[in-house]
Amino acid sequence: MPTITLPNGDKKSFDKPVSARDVAASIGAGLAKAAIGAKIDGELRDLSTMIDKDVSLAIITAPKPGQAASPDALYLMRHSAAHVMAEAIQDVVGKEVLLAYGPPTDTGFFYDMYVPEGKKISSDHFDAINNRMAEIIKEDRAFTRYEQPGNEGLSRLKSEGNKYKVDNAERAMGMPSSVYKGGKPAFAESSTSSVANSAASSLSFYATGTPGKNWEDLCRGPHVPSTSRIGAARVMSLASAYWHGDENSDRLIRVYGTAFATQAELDEYLRQREEAAKRDHRVIGKNLRLFHIDETVGQGLILWTPKGSIVRKELQTFIAAELKKQGYTEVFTPHIGSLDLYKTSGHFPYYKDSQFPPIIERQTLDKLCTEGCSCADMMRRVEGVSQRLADGINERTRATTIAADRIMADDKLIEGFMLKPMNCPHHAKIFGSSPHSYRDMPVRLAEFGTVYRWEQSGELNGLTRVRGFTQDDAHLFCTEEQIPAEVQGCLSLVKTIFATLGMKEYRVRVGLRDPDSSKYTGSAESWDKAEAACIAAAQSLGVSFSKEPGEAAFYGPKIDFVVKDVIGREWQLGTVQVDYQMGNRFDLSYIGPDNKPHRPVVIHRAPFGSMERFCGVLIEHFAGAFPTWLSPEQVRVLPISEKSFDYADKVAAALRAADVRVSVDSGNDRIQAKVKVAADDKVPYMLIVGPNDEATSAVSLRIRGRANNLGVWPTGEFVRAISEEIGSRKTDYVLNQFIVYKKTSGGAKEMPL
RNA sequence: GCCGCUGUAGCUCAGUGGUAGAGCGCACCCUUGGUAAGGGUGAGGCCAUGGGUUCAAUCCCCAUCAGCGGCUCCA
């Protein structure tokens, strides 16, 4: 006698077990028709799932025309599409392809498969696979679930000779894998891949059609009722992946695909991908000559060309001005620091894998050579030192105070320098170089500081993942009471800058400590206060934020910024981190009202991450069409013919005098070609000048992407308007002024209001 | 770092076991023009680097480097 509670609170009672489909039908024929799955007590299940006890139930429906599919609906469709794709691949490429693991993802799904020697999947197969998928979807075969007792199912899988499925089954049944020998945690532990319920005394299979007759797969489900409910699906790309993500294990082919409720949505998704590809900052950066990466200089090292340098510098000037308003003081520090410094800070040897190796002093090198120390010896020595220091630091981090000199005295075998991986040690030394009273706090030291990190070569990517980058860094040395206000200040800075750049959508993640872990330094009481401050600050922003326990650094809670660009992609930028540890490591203090020394808390903050990444994100956000104040070239004057070159120069000189970045296209192309080129170069304003304009001391205005051939406007007025737009970092100001001008005046000779 | 794909003119890309082509860009000439490409001529390449196979390699094989797509990683 199950009683079923619906999402609106209604209850329905039945006198015998019913399927979710039956419940949908009892509510309405329309709902039953639209239903593709069910959420039973919060868990996504097949529509055919039988219900024999009291539960809460939500029917998952295919979206109505024009409506977006729910995440649950997409999940069902994509998980089902993975089966369809796998079947299609086995039809097209061969049954020898062994299936491993095929879950849905955020944007689609993939299926990892083992392709035996002699067989190959390539993009040449995509058309055939897509066609076969379309056929299967059209055949509208039912996804039919059936269960087999665990041992029976297992021996069946073993007889089929697919060790990957055997492994999945064994894991699902809570058994140690008899086939996978790797040491890494299994991906099969995630809920999407488990093929049985937690009890797992039986295994579930899904036939795409009739069991024993049609294609089948070991699978936990759930699925849509039948293949036609998938809507539209498509194979997207190939990549390699390892079994269990373990590089010592079998190499599998990962075939990516995606599915949507309708072909129109799939087409739209593909269109968006094209749009995103067009915005690729690496492509735009090359076309617009914004930056250059030269393999002779080194991977992941950015050469900022003149145009890109303007964008970066303008951005930096803007951020610096905001920092000044907030009471920051600017400092400069060198790009390297001695190893001792990083032993104190813990960077060496803690993070040695993500840093460039030490720069050894000539004296030390000479000494080592004289001793007959080979490179291998030296590496071992560095490793040995590293290990001992790491062990020592590990032990000591539990103590509330670590005397810097104790760590520094630990080992003098290796002396030298490191390219700095962070700016904080230098800043801590600046703070520590003079006495501080509580009356001076907080001390806010800001630096656009360049740091170097050893990113794995496969991670490097344009401007967004590099080995040398300049952080918009600052360290706020403050009292514990000042934490909330300082964190708040960091967030308001971010808000101002995002607002100016038109990045309206962003969210923050507040990383909190894992309550069950003891790896954190500092007292529970301090943590509570700092976490509360971070949460309160995030709340006050008025944007969405999430609390993420376990995501804090070991030395304090943090706030991460994730910004959404105009086409909806998210980018992780910078962080604000509260640090209780650094004051101890560097033995920093300020004198409190009690005339005794106190430890300052340090807030690290680089809200935009790095200038490199932020510029990369901005290039994609604006698709290279920067607002006027950021544009490398703000105005291009296009003379109609040689006759107007002198006048064009005069116009350009007037703009230049007003600090506008302007150039003159004095090529001998026709005006059409000059307009085309200026548009390709994404110059915000084109001033077309010919004899007519010269006669009236005017310019013919054309605005990038907004309006063509706006007609004439007095030169002086344009200079005034664009100066206003640039000075206030606005967009559209010139256009708006022009519209006002056109409305209120009859022609070019009159002045606008 | 691992796997796969790629590397030909400044850029985007064709192409061939007998040492190379297009379009754009660049230079020059004609054209002197009114809002998204006027016409012509020309310069420009050790075909990523190093080995090998071959009478002969840009092409086939191996290695290296770099880029791309993934995986893993990101204090």
Helix (H, G, I), strand (E, B) or coil at A203: strand
Please report which confidence band the pLDDT of residue A655 belongs to, taking 50, 70 and 90 as the band edges.
very high
> Which nucleotide C1' is nearest A352 CA?
B75
Give, in order, the Cα–Cα distances in Å from A579 to each of A437, A521, A533, A556.
20, 9, 13, 5
What pLDDT sits at residue A121? 77
Give the pLDDT mean for A510-514.
Answer: 86
Q: Which residue reads 């693991």 in tokens?
A: A101
Q: Please pick, among A219, A424, A478, A490, the residue that the annotation labels catalytic.
A: A424
Residue A13 has pLDDT above 80, yes or no: yes
Report the Cα A611 to chain-centroid distance in Å.
Answer: 15
Closest residue, by C-alpha, to the C1' of B48: A295
Q: Which residue has the higher pLDDT, A416 or A721?
A: A721
Q: Residues A21, A141, A426, A475: which is the catalytic one?
A: A475
A600 CA to B75 C1' distance (Å): 21
Of A135-149, A227-241, A394-408, A557-571, which range is least confident?
A: A394-408
Pick the catalytic residue from A473, A565, A681, A693.
Answer: A473
pLDDT band at A189 (very low <50, low <70, confident <90, very high): very low
Chain B nucleotides reached by a protein CB under 7 Å = 1-4, 11-12, 25-26, 29-38, 65-75
Which single residue has its CA nearest the C1' atom of nucleotide B3?
A240
Nearest nt to the A572 alpha carbon by C1': B74
The mean pLDDT value for A613-641 works out to 94
Examine the residue annotation and report whether A528 is marked as an active-site residue of this protein.
no
Specify the DSSP class assigned to residue A244. G
- Active site annotation includes A471: yes
Lowest mean pLDDT among A56-60, A102-106, A678-682, A690-694: A102-106
Measure the CA–CA gap between A469 and A140, rounded to whole angstroms. 54
Average pLDDT over residues A435-463: 92
Closest to A670 (Cα-Cα) out of A647, A641, A645, A644: A641
State, as a whole number of angstroms, the distance between the CA of A603 and the C1' of B56: 68
Predicted local distance difference test score (pLDDT) of residue A389: 63
Q: ipTM higher than 0.90?
A: yes
Catalytic residue status for A604: yes
For residues A508 and A563, give the distance between their C-alpha atoms in angstroms, rounded to a whole number.
8
pLDDT digits (tens, 9 = 90+) for A341-355: 888 887 776 676 788
A426 is known as an active-site residue: no
CA A296 / C1′ B64 distance in Å: 14
Does residue A105 surpass a pLDDT of 90? no
A195-209, A405-419, A482-496, A708-722: which range is least confident on average? A405-419
Distance of alpha carbon A642 from alpha carbon A691, whole angstroms: 10
Among all protein residues, pick the one whose CA is nearest to the C1' atom of B11.
A287
Question: Higher-confidence residue: A276 or A292?
Answer: A292
Rounded to an integer, the average pLDDT of A145-173 is 83
Measured from Cα to the C1' atom, the residue closest to B2 is A247
Q: Provide the pLDDT for residue A586.
A: 92
Q: List beta partners, residue A713.
A: A699
Task: Report CA(A272)–C1'(B5) in Å, whole number.
Answer: 24
Scanning every strand, the nucleotide with its C1' closest to A643's CA turns out to be B32
Give the Cα separation of A464 and A460 in Å (integer).
8
- Evaluate if residue A154 carries a pLDDT over 50: yes
Is position A316 annotated as part of the catalytic site?
A: no
Q: For position A348, what pLDDT does the model report?
A: 76
Q: Distance from residue A685 (CA) to nucleotide B42 (C1'), in Å?
A: 34
Percentage of chain A surpassing pLDDT 90? 35
Max intra-chain CA distance, chain A: 94
A392-406, A491-505, A687-701: least confident range: A392-406
pLDDT for the residue numbered A406: 41
Closest CA to A358 of A420, A422, A425: A420
Average pLDDT over residues A640-651: 95
How far is Cα A472 from Cα A460, in angstroms, rounded to an integer?
A: 20
Span A196-254, pLDDT tens digits? 444 457 888 899 998 888 988 888 878 999 899 888 888 887 777 777 777 667 778 88
Read off the pLDDT band of A401 (50, 70, 90): very low
Confidence at residue A190, expressed as pLDDT on a 0 to 100 scale: 36
Amino acid at A563: V
Distance CA A415, CA A379 (A): 13
Taking 90 as the threshold, does the pLDDT of residue A335 lie above it? yes
Distance A123 CA to B55 C1' (A): 39
The whole-number Å distance from A459's CA to B11's C1' is 26
Query: Tell me, what amino acid is at A298?
Result: G
Contact between A116 and A156 under an 8 Å Cβ cutoff? The reply is no
Is residue A639 packed enough to be buried (19+ CB in 10 Å), middle (13-18) or exposed (0-12)?
buried
Tokens of A752: 């606008």
Q: Which residues contact A574 (CB under 8 A, 6 or more apart)?
A: A471, A472, A560, A561, A605, A606, A607, A608, A609, A610
Nucleotide nearest to A678 (CA to C1'): B36
* Highest mean predicted confidence (pLDDT) among A161-175, A235-249, A254-268, A638-652: A638-652
A475 is annotated as an active-site residue = yes
Q: Is the pLDDT of residue A408 over 70?
A: no
Q: Tell me the range of A236-250, A305-319, A391-405, A483-497 where mean pLDDT is highest.
A: A305-319
CB-neighbour burial class of residue A705 (10 A; exposed 0-12, middle 13-18, buried 19+): exposed
Q: Compute the mean pLDDT over every residue in chain A, rounded to the nearest whole number.
A: 84
Residue A181 is predicted with a pLDDT of 65
- End-to-end CA separation in angstroms for chain A: 79
Place of tokens 């706030």: A559
pLDDT tens by residue, A685-735: 999 999 999 999 999 999 998 757 788 899 999 999 999 999 999 988 888
Share of chain A above pLDDT 70, in %: 88
Return the pLDDT at A711.
82
